[in-house]
Amino acid sequence: MVRHILRALPVLLFVATAAHAQTPGPSSDPAPDATTPPGTPPTTTPSPPPDAPVPPPAAVAVPPEPTAPPSPPPVAAPVAPPSKPKSPPVSVTGYLQAVYENQTDTNDDGAVPPDSFSLKRIRVRLKSDINSWLGFTIMFEVAGAQSPLRDGFLSFKLPHHELKVGQQKTQFGYENPLSSTKLFTVNRALVSDTLGRGSDLRDIGLGVFGTWKLPPDFEAGYAVTFVNGAGANRKEDTELKNVWGRAGVTYAPKDLGITSALGVSFARGDQLDPGSLPMDPADDFDARFHRLGVDVEVEAKWVFAAFEYIRGTTDTGGGAEADSQGWYVLAAGKTPWHVGPVFKIDQLDPDMDAADDSRLRYTFGAYADIGKAFRVLGNYELDRSDKRKDDTMLLFVQLVY
């Protein structure tokens, strides 16, 4: 049954696109909207209308030479250097996230890692619109030793569409495309970190994003990424290209003060599996995979809630494959003081035919936003996996600049 759905999904995606009934995931919402939930992914910059007047190049503004210089100097007068065309401004933004982590030996194995401070992310983003249809984004991760480039893409703005060429996030589900600065929990759900992405949340290729406003109060959109599949800052290493996509619709009736969104996501492709001998390429194989996901988000005056379910199959070698599934539910209370409680339950079963491998985690916590730039999160992750892990207490601070 799931296999049938998986086979049918590309057709559904295509139909949804062609009909302009594309469901705009909140992730692909290009139009900034005051009613956008705090959990909504950052919106893309709306492009100015194509017929917007283009400012004349600065070179035109060279002051005319005075026709009669008052007193010619004995030597040749220094010629005023021609003014260069002015470069479009490049914005420098980013964020810093620091975490204190303390685990308790709740799985009774007598071992517990030391408590620790860490820098979860220090991001620096350069972004510019060269003109009304062309721009770029480059984002670096400054903390940590891995390759620093995270985002690096050109973006082309077309009517109702944006194309991104380069390294970018793969588009699947609700939580993964959302900026980590908007999360109510320190960690993304288990299913988002596994079934909802490849080896990395970013990859190299082409992204296509579309959105349409539909009267009344509806908006539809889609986001599809065609990528190598090897992950960020890596060369292609398999036969296939991978497709990750989401189509969604948002409904935000202004008189009800509710914003809701529904998305359907699909992915297929392959990934190099190192086999049982990671250092020996002889047993490497292309692990083909399929993913199907559904997500629902609702935001009202006092609450934001999200639900996501992902199911998939992955080759495990020798013609065998594993069926996996996972889901989470998140609820965050909203108050006029931008402080509230957070609860999340998330589950992952990596192999539905194997016993004792399911993960289950409850996250209890709270958030506080102080001004627009500063967020504090406190999370307690209570582990109830088949193979118990230690519970973790996390204190998180974030500054967006």
Q: Which residues of 123-133 are buried (b: 16+ CB within 10 A; e: fewer)?
A: bbbbbebeeee
Among 45, 218, 390, 399, binds Ca ion (CB under 5 A): 390
Residue of 184, 188, 187 whose CA lies nearest to 376: 184
**Nearer to Ca ion by C-beta: 33 or 315?**
315
Min dist CB 143 to Ca ion, Å, is 27
Stretch that binds Ca ion, among 145-153, 256-264, 273-281, 347-355 (CB under 5 A): 347-355
Region near Ca ion per CB under 5 A, out of 27-35, 221-229, 276-284, 322-330: 221-229
- Closest listed residue to residue 377, CA positions, set 330, 337, 331, 342: 342
Q: What whole-number distance in Å separates Cα of residue 398 and Cα of residue 99?
A: 9
> Torsion angle, CA of 231/15/247/161, rounded to 10 degrees?
80
Closer of 299 and 349 to Ca ion (Cβ) = 349
Closest CA to 10 of 292, 377, 330: 292
Please give the Cα distance from 312 to 130 (Å, whole number): 40
Q: By CB under 5 A, name the one of 229, 248, 263, 340 that touches Ca ion.
A: 229
Could you tell me the smallest distance in angstroms from the CB atom of residue 386 to Ca ion? 8
Examine residue 238 and tell whether it contacts Ca ion (CB under 5 A).
yes
Residue 205 near Ca ion by CB under 5 A: no
Report how far apart, in Å, the C-alpha atoms of 207 and of each of 171, 172, 275 are. Answer: 8, 12, 30
Residue 193 vs 351, nearer CB to Ca ion = 351
Single-letter amino acid, residue 28: S
Binding residue (CB under 5 A) for Ca ion from 29, 321, 349, 381:
349
Q: How many residues does the chain have?
A: 401
For residue 254, the SS3 value is coil
Give the residue with the Cβ less far from Ca ion, 237 or 369: 237
Instruction: By CB under 5 A, tell whether 286 contacts Ca ion.
Output: no
The binding track of 350-369 with respect to Ca ion, each residue x by CB under 5 A or -, is -x--x--x------------
Instruction: State in angstroms the smallest separation of the CB of 109 from Ca ion.
Output: 4
Q: Which is nearer to Ca ion, 229 or 340 (CB)?
A: 229
Residue with tokens 């302009």: 20
Minimal CB distance residue for Ca ion: 229
From the list 66-74, 150-158, 344-352, 367-375, the region that binds Ca ion by CB under 5 A is 344-352
Beta carbon of residue 351, minimum distance to Ca ion (angstroms, whole number) = 5
Regarding 105 and contact with Ca ion (CB under 5 A), the answer is yes
At 159 the three-state DSSP class reads coil
CA distances from residue 120 to 86, 117, 143, 398 in whole angstroms, order as listed = 37, 9, 7, 10
Shortest Cβ 235–Ca ion spacing (Å): 10
Q: Is 20 left (phi over 0), alpha (psi -120 to 50) or beta?
A: left
Q: Is there binding between residue 45 and Ca ion (CB under 5 A)?
A: no
Q: Does 383 bind Ca ion (CB under 5 A)?
A: no
Find how far residue 56's CA is from the centre of its chain: 36
Least distance between Ca ion and beta carbon 358 (Å): 5
Identify residue 163 by its one-letter amino acid code: L
From 22-30, 151-159, 237-245, 329-337, span contacting Ca ion (CB under 5 A)? 237-245
Contact 312, 291 (CB under 8 A): yes
Q: CB 271 → Ca ion: shortest distance, Å?
A: 7
Paired residues of 359 in beta bridges: 348
Contact between 111 and Ca ion by CB under 5 A: the answer reads yes
Min dist CB 393 to Ca ion, Å, is 14
Please count the residues of this chain forming the interface with Ca ion, following the rule CB under 5 A.
13
The tokens for 86 are 């002015």
Q: In whole angstroms, how close is the CB of 291 to Ca ion at the nearest point?
A: 15
The residues binding Ca ion (CB under 5 A) are 105, 107, 109, 111-112, 228-229, 238, 349, 351, 354, 357, 390
